């Protein structure tokens, strides 16, 4: 029984959130590798949050005496060309990569899902026009598109978020559209229509919660892509401006000294690989778990 002081809207949202949560939990439990991915990713997130406590040195502090030092007890991952501690820059750099990735995917997820919802719900010409536009965007290489957008807007966290989310909108629209088309034919939507609910209410209040687990799972896979694209743009020289530490930027600087100080490029490379791999492991396992075609494989 629901407590008497809860309004029907509160009851609705409580049960909806509970359903989404239990859906994700079932998916997690049916594919154990997802837990490994989640734990790895959370460890990186915790390191990024606790950067001021964990970083042994100031990531921006330069020391000409300690230039290009190999790993030692004091500098566990060595120092860079300006004598800055690589480990500290790596920990602080996680903040930039994760912030840009999470924001970009958050924006793409919201805009893309809404576009997909509208296309799937209304169907007909609206669907054709929207999805053709998405297909055109999808056809273009995302790194090149991101590259041009950042080059025109200028490299900053906001512009990187805009560029990366721009390239990630079409896949979310595709993911949201297909289940919307199936769900809109279900009886509970018919019932909502008969009760005079508006299209907006049906789409956001009744269809969206049902497709949310799929969108969230895809979100984790695309977060991996977003972090990879951000690092790639930073490597090309279109990342957040120095001296702010970013993983891609650190690899770029390390690459310039690769012949005598290979560790500069090696450690941030491993960091990116761990984050992207953990997200792929997480998203892949969850996707397999919620995909009815693949469920039998578990």
Q: Supply the minimum distance, in Å, between the C-beta of residue 98 and another protein.
A: 15
Q: Judged by CB under 8 A, which of 50, 58, 70, 154 binds another protein?
A: 154
**Considering the rule CB under 8 A, would residue 269 count as an interface residue with another protein?**
yes
Q: Judged by CB under 8 A, which of 151, 178, 181, 216 binds another protein?
A: 151
Q: Judged by CB under 8 A, which of 4, 8, 52, 141 binds another protein?
A: 141
The residue range among 1-9, 74-82, 178-186, 253-261 that interacts with another protein, by the rule CB under 8 A, is 253-261
Q: Record the tokens describing residue 110, joined without a space.
A: 């919201």
The residue range among 8-16, 103-111, 181-189, 251-259 that interacts with another protein, by the rule CB under 8 A, is 251-259
**Considering the rule CB under 8 A, would residue 238 count as an interface residue with another protein?**
yes
**Considering the rule CB under 8 A, would residue 39 count as an interface residue with another protein?**
no
Q: Supply the minimum distance, in Å, between the C-beta of residue 123 and another protein.
A: 20
Contact letters for another protein, residues 166-205 (x by CB under 8 A): ----------------------------------------
**How many Å apart are CA 71 and CA 218, to the nearest integer?**
38
Q: Judged by CB under 8 A, which of 5, 185, 187, 297 binds another protein?
A: 297
Q: Supply the minimum distance, in Å, between the C-beta of residue 152 and another protein.
A: 4
Q: Judged by CB under 8 A, which of 272, 286, 289, 290 binds another protein?
A: 272
Exposed / middle / buried, residue 18 (Cβ in 10 Å: 0-12, 13-18, 19+) = exposed
The footprint of another protein (CB under 8 A) covers 132-133, 135-137, 139-145, 147-149, 151-154, 224, 228, 231-232, 235-238, 251, 255, 258-259, 262, 265-266, 269, 272-273, 276-277, 280-281, 284, 293-294, 297
């Amino acid at each position: 029984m629901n407590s008497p002081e809860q309004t029907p809207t509160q009851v609705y949202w409580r049960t909806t959130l509970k359903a989404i949560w239990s859906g994700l939990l079932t998916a997690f439990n049916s594919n154990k590798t997802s837990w490994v991915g989640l734990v790895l990713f959370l460890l990186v997130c915790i390191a990024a949050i606790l950067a001021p406590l964990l970083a042994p040195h100031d990531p921006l502090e330069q020391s000409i005496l300690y230039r290009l030092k190999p790993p030692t007890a004091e500098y566990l991952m060595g120092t860079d060309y300006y004598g800055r501690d690589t480990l500290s820059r790596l920990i602080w750099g996680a903040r930039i990569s994760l912030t840009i990735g999470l924001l970009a995917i958050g924006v793409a997820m919201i805009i893309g899902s809404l576009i997909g919802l509208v296309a799937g719900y209304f169907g007909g010409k609206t669907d054709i026009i929207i999805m053709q536009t998405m297909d055109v965007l999808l056809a273009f290489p995302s790194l090149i598109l991101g590259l041009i957008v950042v080059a025109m807007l200028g490299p900053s966290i906001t512009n990187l978020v805009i560029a990366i989310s721009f390239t990630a909108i079409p896949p979310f629209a595709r993911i949201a559209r297909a289940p919307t088309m199936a769900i809109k034919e279900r009886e509970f939507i018919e019932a909502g229509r008969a009760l005079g609910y508006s299209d907006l209410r049906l789409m956001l209040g009744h269809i969206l919660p049902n497709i949310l687990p799929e969108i969230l799972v895809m979100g984790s896979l695309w977060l991996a892509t977003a972090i990879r694209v951000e690092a790639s743009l930073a490597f090309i020289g279109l990342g957040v401006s120095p001296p702010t530490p970013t993983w891609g930027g650190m690899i770029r600087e390390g690459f310039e000294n690769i012949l005598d100080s290979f560790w500069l490029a090696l450690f941030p490379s491993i960091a990116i690989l761990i984050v992207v791999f953990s997200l792929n492991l997480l998203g892949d396992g969850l996707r397999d778990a919620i995909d009815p075609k693949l469920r039998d494989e578990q």
